[in-house]
Amino acid sequence: MLEINDLKTEVLCRNILTRHRDTITVQKTDFALRKLNVIISSALQLSNRKGFSTMTLRDLSRVSGVSMGGLYAYFDTKTTLLKMILSEVTATVQRALTTPPDDVRDDAVAHLKWLIDAHVRMTEEMEAWFTFAFMEAKNFPPAERRKAIDSEALTESYIADVIDAGIASGVFRADTSPLLAALIKPLLQDWYVKRAKYRHRGVSIDTYITTVQNLVLSACLTNRANTGSNS
């Protein structure tokens, strides 16, 4: 199970550095990691402010303080930088949502609640990363846009698998809508896409998670399971 510290930007950048070590030409690992952290953070900041499609590498150089030549030591084009960021978002989703605690794995209700909790807390820590992947997707080149869409579909498939398991075990209703997993995904995305709205209303992350969990379970729990949860 991923810990909060595993979602820090410096850890994510270390993952990127490891994955792209054969193309990143900076040899000293500590130096390369520090610079990559600055570059990625600056790229997310710029993109979320003015849009990735309008951000130039010269803009990135100015904001990050890394020379153009220094940037090219990490990636050859803006599209390669985009692939680095999207690949790490997808990899983190896979690591975070496929490692439930042992006491959750075989309990569909607990597993579904855990998925909701884990996803919201993951995006809280990686708000800039997920906002970038979601808000900018429409402007990505076709291959990268498909990667962003596939990442969303992956999360939905994890939720759908747990719902199917709950239906099979009888704790979720047999007539649970096959669209439920698809409807849960926007609820999870709303936490980071409309973060300012919830901050303005004083909604805490715990309140948001509990509200989504209760709303989702009300749409699929059997009467038997509802009775059991209230006893």
User: What value does the mean pLDDT of the chain take?
Assistant: 91
Q: 97-145, pLDDT tens digit by residue?
A: 999 999 999 999 999 999 999 999 999 999 999 988 888 888 888 888 8
The model carries a pTM of 0.89
- Paired tokens of 49: 């402010």
Q: 41-94, pLDDT tens digit by residue?
A: 999 999 988 888 899 999 999 999 999 999 999 999 999 999 999 999 999 999
Task: Using the structure block, give the residue that is written with the tokens 């930007």.
Answer: 9
The reported pLDDT for the residue numbered 231 is: 39
Q: Looking at the DSSP assignment, which residues form a beta bridge with residue 167?
A: none
Q: Looking at the DSSP assignment, which residues form a beta bridge with residue 70?
A: none
Dist CA 228 CA 156 (whole Å): 27
Asked if 164 and 206 count as a contact pair (C-beta separation under 8 A), the reply is no
- Paired tokens of 202: 């004083």
The reported pLDDT for the residue numbered 228 is: 47
Asked if 44 and 129 count as a contact pair (C-beta separation under 8 A), the reply is yes
Please state, in angstroms and as integers, the Cα–Cα distance from residue 109 to each residue in 167, 183, 230, following that order: 10, 17, 14
Asked if 166 and 133 count as a contact pair (C-beta separation under 8 A), the reply is no
Q: Computed over its alpha carbons, how large is the radius of gyration of the chain?
A: 20
